[in-house]
A = this chain, B = another copy of it.
Amino acid sequence: MQRSADLDLSPRILLGPGPSAVSPRVLRVMTTPPIGYLDPEWLAFMDEEQALLREVWQTENPLTLALSGTGSSGMEAAIANFLEPGDRFIVGVNGFFGNRMCDMAARYGATVTKIEAPWGEPIRKEQIADALKQGPAKMVALVHAETSTGVLQDLTGVADIVHGAGALLMVDCVTSLAGVPVKIDAMGVDVAYSATQKCLGAPTGLAPFTVSPKGVAALEKRKKPTANWYLDLAIIAKYWDKNRAYHHTPSTALHYALREGLRMALEEGLEKRWARHRANAEYLWAELAKMKISLHVAPEHRLPPLTTVKIPDGVDDPGVRKRLREEFAIEIAGGFGPLAGKVWRVGLMGFSSRRENIAALIGALKEIL
């Protein structure tokens, strides 16, 4: 007896802040049956996945892996592992996710120094230097791609300032990895995490994570283990390295999908993929300009995978989004916090970053507005 109906969700063109669309090729590999977490074939799979992750992150970091949680678990792991009670933590807050870092860090007993910019602007390097001059810090965190505001944070020269003051540089790459240039080693980033459901074009559920040798040295100097056992890198690393020590059972389905997403990104080529994300964003921006609709972020700070669109005066924000969804099967998102009711957030990430999707959105907006 069937206890409920077969799964039957409506199709959607996903142009929100994530999840983004997943290619049929990635979806299909998830039907591969599971395999044991110590099976030699699975261990070989993990080694290959790690190599693909390093290539996409543009890093040689040995400690590169995918955590068993969403992108948010990546942020938590960065904070839980690299901060101890009393450590000073300098956080660039220019959107929702910087605020979340402050919340998390306070829970672990860190002393948080916020450096702020309006929602829609980047953090300036001088602000970081000033905060470091006021006293030493364990770590400085920036959001590379603020999904709540559509700002791409320029990281040029930041690592020199941070390392010069003896601190680690942590960067949130949730919406940047595989969508805009992310070069962990060249940028001097010590701790970075991302998510699978944004520009990587895989389903939600894993958090790609990478730690520099300097970051590993800091981990080894901890006085006490982190409170967070599930995300404790010191023990998780022993499963990903030659020890193969059991920590928890990984989700084979999600890892199969992530590997396929990574392969597709590398087959396309990172440079070409970054260029595709930018070209499609520019197409969207140009079409909106033709409609006299303006954008929230100045051109030089715009994040191609996520555009914040100023809602034209007198337009019914939720009403338009509802019509887009119901009449055109298109999802875009509203704004958070100070941008609620002021902007729409349009994501062009991974497999969703396609010209036909932009044409559909523009056509639908012309019909509705």
Contact = CB atoms under 8 A, between A and B. Distances in A.
A263 B13 CA distance: 28
A230 interface: yes
A343 interface: no
A257 interface: yes
A266 B254 CA distance: 25
A116 interface: no
Contacts of A283: none
A328 interface: no
Nearest to A77: B230
A27 interface: yes
A253 B32 CA distance: 14
B35 A9 contact: yes
B72 A69 contact: no
Contact of A12 (B36, B68, B203, B231): B36
A2 to B, nearest CB: 6
Contacts of A205: 68, 205, 251, 253-254
B70 A30 contact: no
Nearest to A16: B36
A360 interface: no
9 contacts: A12-B39, A14-B35, A16-B36, A19-B36, A30-B30, A69-B73, A108-B227, A205-B253, A253-B253
Interface of A: 1-4, 7, 9-12, 14, 16, 18-22, 24, 27-39, 41-42, 45, 48, 52, 68-73, 76, 80, 100, 103-104, 107-109, 195, 197, 203-205, 225-231, 247-254, 256-257, 259-260, 263, 266-267, 325, 331, 333
Q: Which 7 residue pairs are nearest across A and B when measured between Cβ atoms?
A: A205-B251, A72-B248, A203-B253, A19-B34, A204-B251, A30-B30, A76-B230
A248 B36 contact: no
Q: How many copies of the chain does the oligomer comprise?
A: 2
A11 B41 CA distance: 11
Given A39-B325, A70-B68, A32 B7 contact: yes
A107 B225 CA distance: 7
Contacts of A249: 18-19, 70-72, 195, 197, 204
Contacts of A80: 227-228
Contact of A252 (B19, B107, B228): B19
Nearest to A264: B3
A248 B103 contact: no
A252 B36 contact: no
A71 B253 contact: no
